[in-house]
Structure 1
Amino acid sequence: MSELSQLSPQPLWDIFAKICSIPHPSHHEEELAQHIMGWAKEKGLFVDRDAVGNILIRKPATAGMENRKPVVLQAHLDMVPQKNNDTVHDFAKDPIQPYIDGEWVKARGTTLGADNGIGMASALAVLADENVVHGPLEVLLTMTEETGMDGAFGLQAGWLQADILINTDSEEEGEIYMGCAGGIDFSSNLTLTREAIPAGFQTFKLTLKGLKGGHSGGDIHLGLGNANKLLARFLAAHAAELDLRLVDFNGGTLRNAIPREAFATVAVSADKTEQLKSLVATYLDILKNELSIKEKNLTVVLEPATAEKGALNAQSRDSFVQLLNATPNGVIRNSDVAKGVVETSLNVGVVTMTDDNVEIHCLIRSLIDSGKDYVVSMLESLGKLAGARTQPKGGYPGWQPDANSPVMQLVRETYQRLFNKTPNIQVIHAGLECGLFKKPYPDMDMVSIGPTITGPHSPDEQVHIESVGQYWHLLTELLKAIPQK
């Protein structure tokens, strides 16, 4: 039994503990999918699966509720795999280890997967708990949301019967989401030319680590450090004066997570090693002065290393370093319509260098299509200046807010009645699947709710226990209050 079993509502927490025990990072959801389908069949529920792997489960209305509008509860199956540098964990094989820490549930050294595991657990708990009163009910679990919204892109018209969709992927109790940002991936690739490292040069590994990281949408306004950008800044400032030879550079692991670590292998002549060490120490002082409030654990480490291949020639080094240093990152513009919400942003998420190529992979988000187009144009211009091959790909639409949404009004009224306070109606600067669902189901009324989750997409991810109970109370009362057809 998991220690989560002592928490309330017990069915939800028990199911979440089971979800944690089955590895399910993006592209590795199949074991969890098979478990859920078997579980639903054991309960005698209708289960179906579509061509892209999405799961649909149906449960008949409870007695007397047959004439209510049908509802679909929606969550995604996958989680973001991020771990601390000193944590040994294979996300494709090892279970997540959740534990209770005061008012929060956390995971040992890794992301928790409360995004979107708590939402998924809540939907399954509604199916499992015979005390929950509801009309005709569907549960839709989508595939591979975190790395490209594959399941949402593949959702076919006519499969769902519901009139109302409740998305469970929001992360702030007391807020109702009625719109979200769209996004697009953008990659820049540079061909590299290498040459031998001169005799008498010493090789070092330069590591920038200890950053918080976080969600590249929900946390992008917080002013957190981006390891790729910070390491590029150092190289741009000092590569020429040190006659520095760049052997390797890699940073970040996911385009939708703010990079926490970046690594460069460099070589300098023996007579410049002390200067390199001094400049690294000075740079660490600069960063601590700038970021100490937000990034208390930031550090830059220089240690001896060996080079197993040649270094970039001066032109390749400068083209790459200057392109990465010049690539914008973070908030581009705040919304004039949704006050306090970011309109357009990008995250320089992953830099991957091989022998003859380096790729810079960004995720652009915007509440408006023209905002995405602007950043794409900016990155394409930078790419042309640097001689890079650029490609925008995998664009997905935002979810346009509907101020007249009946289900949004119902959620607001239900929340007010239950908790005697008015919830915030929000547009979120993160990608929810609702925008994609609108294409096959343009008339479906949609809303998004959830408990309080902080630090998603980072090992600091945690879910607030009390807020899960409040969210469950809201969800079950909402299902009871759904109007007649």
Structure 2
Amino acid sequence: MVAVLERWADEHGLSHDRDTFGNLRIRKPASPGHERAPGVILQGHLDMVAQANADHPHDFTRDPIETYVAEGWLRACQTTLGADNGLGVAAALAILGDESLTHGPLEALFTLEEESSMGGALNLAEDWLEGSILLNLDSEDRGQVYIGCAGGADVVVEAQLPTSALNDDEQTWQLSLTGLVGGHSGIDIHKGRGNANRLLVRALRTLEGAGARLIDYHGGTLRNALPREAFASLALPVDEVGPVQARLEALEQELRVELSGVDEKLTLRLTPCASRADEALTEAASQLLVNALHAAPCGVERMSVEVSGVVETSNNLGVVSLENGRFRLCALVRSLRDSATADIADRFTALFSLIGARTRVENAYPGWTPNPESELLARFRRLHRQRLGSDPEVKVIHAGLECGILGGKYPHLEMISFGPQIRGAHSPDERVEIESVAEFWQLLRVLIEDLANDQAA
């Protein structure tokens, strides 16, 4: 993708360079007479979350995203769309390519690995960017502007657990939990949606006393997406299969009632495996692992007192796996307070030490402290009223915008974040409202012109 954009820059006569991590910058000189206007940085990330429904074969390294329009929304066929953050990248390119636009010095910064680790922002070169104003184009709500965001960290838990051979009276079964909506682990965490790992572990808890032993487990694919599906292979005594089936059927109905209006399409199934496994966790190890996962922090931990309606601290049990006795968990903790992030990570350490697991914290990034008195924010609000006839909502988001990291490296930057209406990000339900894209483009364009005209020498 970087190479594609470099060729595009060459075709448009624009200079470009990369930092040592590979982040790309494309520059465009100011319009004549506006050279002394404040430099504006248009910022977005190049990667997308690659999610497809389990029954839809799709190779993201080769297959194109198939799109269609329904009721004014652009959608993809059973995969993520890539509007997060493809629309921000496209908007920056459109600004750079607009020869009718009056502007000050422009830089377009395209970062890498935002979805997987924030690696692009964390490793961004210092003393590289020249602008004083940064417009982050990675927000997903029409009529809103963001001035702050949560920080976060990955919590990784690993352990090698004891196994033993299957007994003659044990059969191999697969327990699956599917049909959940999923979504973004930050902005959707408070909506009451099911977490497949949390719910499948709950199902496994109901099997305690039946002698069930875990063979393997695979739940979730990304730590920043709410898990939609989870699968576990079990060794079950033959005479326990009937009672276990009945227990699971009752639990499925309970869960559908609990998640009514949100995730009532949940499906819980126990089916025989095609082949018999050789080993499973010992019964004691299996119980300890299930108990620890059942007790692990998950979901909203605390709502903010200072910012009404905003989640302060949360955790997502994003990816859980077990294979040949090797257990691994990757959770994503988010908080407006770095101390709360550290506390949740410490709770994981304390909990999983009870089963002999090792815990480490990776990819920690700071939050973005709001500045409600920002001159840039006042300018955006004025233009929003003039163009759209309404005041934008000023928001703080419970998600990891790169602004917090970028502000740490470039403390002088004045920043806001805004974008079109995107729903279902990080899931195959991702969609963007077409009308909101035109509105987003109009605001972005007039803001850049206003900055150039107000402050040009």
Q: Place the TM-score, normalised by the shorter chain, in its bin.
A: over 0.9
The aligned residue for residue 245 of structure 1 is 213
TM-fit CA distance, 1:245: 2.0
The aligned residue for residue 385 of structure 1 is 354
With normalisation by structure 2, the TM-score equals: 0.97
After TM superposition, the structure 1 stretch with the greater mean CA deviation from structure 2, 58-67 or 187-196, is 58-67
- Alignment partner of 1:242: what SS? coil
Task: Tell me, yes or no, if structure 1 residue 452 matches structure 2 residue 415.
Answer: no
1:357-399, Cα deviation, whole Å (9 max, x unpaired): 1011100000111111221122122122232211112110001
- Alignment partner of 1:225: what SS? coil
The aligned residue for residue 455 of structure 2 is 484
The aligned residue for residue 6 of structure 1 is none
1:69-115, Cα deviation, whole Å (9 max, x unpaired): 11010000000011111111111222211221121000111000100
The aligned residue for residue 177 of structure 2 is 208
Equivalent of 1:432 in 393, 401, 412:
401
Amino acid at match of 1:289: V
Task: Tell me, yes or no, if structure 1 residue 345 matches structure 2 residue 345.
Answer: no
TM-fit CA distance, 1:308: 2.8
The aligned residue for residue 158 of structure 2 is 189
TM-fit CA distance, 1:344: 0.3
Q: Considering only aligned residues, what root-mean-square deviation do their CA atoms show, in Å?
A: 1.1
TM-fit CA distance, 1:315: 2.0
Q: How does 1:58-457 map to 2 (within 5 A)?
A: 58-239=27-208, 241-305=209-273, 306-457=275-426
Amino acid at match of 2:96: L
Cα distance in 1, alignment partners of residues 446 and 54 from structure 2: 43
**Structure 1 segments unaligned to the other structure (5+ residues):** 1-31
1:172-220, Cα deviation, whole Å (9 max, x unpaired): 0111100000000001222211111111222211100010110000100
TM-fit CA distance, 1:238: 1.7
- CA contact under 8 A between 2:141 and 2:419: conserved in structure 1? yes
TM-fit CA distance, 1:403: 1.9
- Alignment partner of 2:190: what SS? helix
- Alignment partner of 1:271: what SS? helix
1:419-462, Cα deviation, whole Å (9 max, x unpaired): 11111111100001111111221111111010110010000000
- CA contact under 8 A between 1:232 and 1:321: conserved in structure 2? yes
Cα distance in 1, alignment partners of residues 444 and 309 from structure 2: 26
- CA contact under 8 A between 1:84 and 1:110: conserved in structure 2? yes
Cα distance in 2, alignment partners of residues 248 and 354 from structure 1: 5
- CA contact under 8 A between 1:54 and 1:142: conserved in structure 2? yes
1:127-175, Cα deviation, whole Å (9 max, x unpaired): 1121222111110000111011111011122211101000000000111
- Alignment partner of 2:395: what SS? strand
TM-fit CA distance, 1:356: 2.7
The aligned length equals 453
The aligned residue for residue 16 of structure 1 is none
- CA contact under 8 A between 2:52 and 2:428: conserved in structure 1? yes
**Structure 2 segments unaligned to the other structure (5+ residues):** none
Amino acid at match of 1:273: V
Cα distance in 1, alignment partners of residues 257 and 338 from structure 2: 37
- Alignment partner of 1:222: what SS? coil
Identity of aligned residues (%): 45
Cα distance in 1, alignment partners of residues 42 and 158 from structure 2: 40
Give every structure 1 segment of 4 or more consecutive aligned residues whose post-TM-superposition deviation is greater than 6 Å: none
- CA contact under 8 A between 1:71 and 1:137: conserved in structure 2? yes
Cα distance in 2, alignment partners of residues 364 and 460 from structure 1: 24
Cα distance in 1, alignment partners of residues 356 and 305 from structure 2: 35
- CA contact under 8 A between 2:157 and 2:357: conserved in structure 1? yes
- CA contact under 8 A between 2:67 and 2:75: conserved in structure 1? yes
- Alignment partner of 2:89: what SS? helix
- Alignment partner of 1:35: what SS? helix
The aligned residue for residue 22 of structure 1 is none
Cα distance in 1, alignment partners of residues 343 and 402 from structure 2: 23
1:1-25, Cα deviation, whole Å (9 max, x unpaired): xxxxxxxxxxxxxxxxxxxxxxxxx
1:236-259, Cα deviation, whole Å (9 max, x unpaired): 2223x2111221111000000000
Cα distance in 1, alignment partners of residues 225 and 266 from structure 2: 17
The aligned residue for residue 29 of structure 1 is none
Cα distance in 2, alignment partners of residues 309 and 359 from structure 1: 21
Cα distance in 2, alignment partners of residues 271 and 315 from structure 1: 20
